[in-house]
Structure 1
Amino acid sequence: MARPAKRVSPDTLGGRIRAARQSLRLSLADVADGRYSTSLISQIERNRVEPSPESLRFLAERLNLPLDDLMVLVQQQRESEAEANRYKENEEKLNHALRLLESKHIKAALDLIKTINIEHAPPSLRWRLYALKGQCFFSLRQFVEAQRQFFQAAALRPERIPTEQVHEATLLHLHLAATCRELGHLDLANDHYETVLRLMQPETPIHYVAEAHWGIALVSFERADSHRDDEQWAAESERLKYRALHHAENARTLYRSIGDEINESLLSCEIALIYQGLGRVEEARACLREVLEKWQPRVAATPPAGKNTLEERRQKQEANVVAAAAAYLASLELQCRRYELALQYVRQAHEAARKSYILRRAEAYLIEGQILDAMEQEQEAAPIGESGAERAFRAAIAELKPTHRVAALIHAHDLLGRHLLKRGRIKEGEHELDVARALAQTRRHWEDPLAMTDEM
Structure 2
Amino acid sequence: MARPAKRVSPDTLGGRIRAARQSLRLSLADVADGRYSTSLISQIERNRVEPSPESLRFLAERLNLPLDDLMVLVQQQRESEAEANRYKENEEKLNHALRLLESKHVKAALDMVKTINIEHAPPSLRWRLYALKGQCFFSMREFVEAQRQFFQAAALRPERLPTEQVYEATLLHLHLAATCRELGHLDLANDHYETVLKLMQPETPIHYVAEAHWGIALVSFERADSHRDDEQWAVESEQLKYRALRHAENARTLYRSIGDEINESLLSCEIALIYQGLGRLDEARACLREVLERWQPRVAAAVPAGKNTLEERRQKREANVVAAAAAYLASLELQCQQYEVALEYVRQAHEAARKSYTLRRAEAYLIEGQILEAMEQERGAAPGGQSGAERAFRAAIEELKPTHRMAALIHAHDLLGRHLLKRGRIKEGEYELDVARALAQTRRQWQEPLAITDEL
Q: Does the TM-score normalized on the shorter chain lie above 0.5?
A: yes
The whole-number CA distance in structure 1 between the counterparts of 2:398 and 2:121 is: 41
Residues 143-166 of structure 1 show CA distances to partners (whole Å, capped at 9, x for unaligned) of 333222222211111111111211
Show CA shifts across 1:260-301 (max 9, x none).
Answer: 111111111111111111111111111111111111111111
Moved more, 45-54 or 11-20: 11-20
Identity of aligned residues (%): 92
**Stretch deviating more after TM superposition (340-349 or 7-16):** 7-16
Cα distance change, pair 71–244 in 1 and its aligned pair in 2 (3 A) = same
Query: Secondary structure at the residue paired with 1:132?
Result: helix
In structure 1, stretches of 5+ residues that fail to align are none
Partners of 1:454 and 1:266 in 2: how far apart?
33
1:383 corresponds to 2:378: no
> In the TM superposition, what is the alpha-carbon distance from 1:322 to its structure 2 partner?
0.5
Deviations 1:333-388 (A, max 9, x none): 11112222222211211111111112111211221222223233333434533333
CA-to-partner distance for each residue in 1:279-335, whole Å, 9 max, x for gaps?
A: 111111111111111111111111100011110011001000000001101111111
Q: Deviations over 1:42-85 (max 9, x none)?
A: 21121110111211222233333333332232222122111111
Q: Which has the higher contact order (CA 8 A, sep 6+)?
A: 1
Structure 1 residues 163-203: Cα deviation after superposition (integer angstroms, max 9, x where no partner): 12111111111122122222222111111111111111122
Secondary structure (helix, strand or coil) at the match of 1:10 reads: coil
Answer whether contact 1:183 1:406 (CA < 8 A) is retained: no
Q: Deviation at 1:447?
A: 4.3
- The question of whether the paired residues in 2 share the 8 Å contact of 1:144 and 1:404 is answered with no
> Once superposed, what is the RMSD of the aligned Cα atoms?
2.3
SS of the residue aligned with 2:415?
helix
Partner residue of 1:128? Answer: 128
Relative to 1, partners in 2 of residues 1:398 and 1:143: Cα closer, same or farther, differing over 3 Å? farther
Shift, 1:449, TM fit: 7.3
Offset of residue 228 of structure 1: 5.1
The gaps in structure 2 that reach 5 residues or longer are none
8 A Cα contact 1:28 1:38, kept in partner: yes
Distance 2:410 2:312 in 1: 31
Equivalent-residue separation in structure 2 for 1:454 and 1:222 (angstroms): 22
Offset of residue 231 of structure 1:
4.5
CA distance in 2, matches of 1:86, 1:18: 28
Change (3 A) 1:20 1:453: farther
Describe the shift of the 1:382–1:50 C-alpha distance in structure 2 as closer, same or farther (beyond 3 A). Answer: farther
Maintained 8 Å contact 1:183/1:405: no
Q: Classify 1:67/1:435 alpha carbon distance in 2 versus 1 (closer, same or farther; 3 Å).
A: farther
Cα distance in 1, alignment partners of residues 129 and 423 from structure 2? 52
Contact persistence 1:446–1:452 (CA under 8 A):
no
For residues 401 and 103 of structure 1, do their structure 2 counterparts lie closer, same or farther at Cα, with a shift above 3 Å needed?
A: same
Is the 2:9–2:15 contact (alpha carbons within 8 Å) kept by the matching residues of 1? yes
Q: CA deviation at 1:403?
A: 2.5
Q: Which moved more, 1:333-342 or 1:323-332?
A: 333-342
Partner residue of 2:300?
300
1:237 offset after TM fit, Å? 0.9
Alignment map for 1:219-234 (pairs within 5 Å): 219-227=219-227, 229-234=229-234
Residue 276 of structure 1 corresponds to 276
Mapped to 2, the partners of 1:264 and 1:366 lie a distance apart of 25
Distance 1:454 1:335, change over 3 A: closer
Residues 160/378 of structure 1: CA separation in 2 closer, same or farther (3 Å cut): same
Distance in 2 separating the partners of 1:114 and 1:395: 39
Contact 1:148/1:452 (8 A) holds in 2: no
* 1:432-456 superposed Cα distances (whole Å, 9 cap, x missing partner): 3344334334434454776454899
> What is the CA–CA distance in structure 2 between the aligned matches of 1:37 and 1:363, rounded to whole Å?
79
Query: Would the aligned equivalents of 1:142 and 1:403 in 2 still touch at CA under 8 Å?
Result: no
Helix, strand or coil: the match of 1:446? helix
Contact 2:32/2:38 (CA < 8 Å) preserved in 1? yes
Identify if the C-alpha distance between structure 1 residues 256 and 434 changes in structure 2 by more than 3 Å, giving closer, same or farther: same
Structure-2 separation of matches of 1:38 and 1:195: 55
Task: Return closer, same or farther for 1:144/1:387 CA change in 2, 3 Å cut-off.
Answer: farther
CA 1:432–1:16 in structure 2 vs 1: closer, same or farther (change >3 Å)?
farther
Bigger shift: 142-151 or 312-321?
Answer: 142-151
Q: Report deviation, 1:110.
A: 2.7
1:218-259: CA deviation from partner (whole Å, max 9, x where unpaired) = 111111111254554211111111111111111111211222
Cα offsets for 1:99-139 (capped at 9, x unmatched): 23323333333332232222222111111122222223333
Query: Separation in 1 of the partners of 2:18 and 2:182?
Result: 60
Q: Secondary structure at the match of 2:454?
A: helix
Count of aligned residue pairs for this structure pair: 456
Matched-pair contact (CA < 8 Å) for 1:184–1:406: no
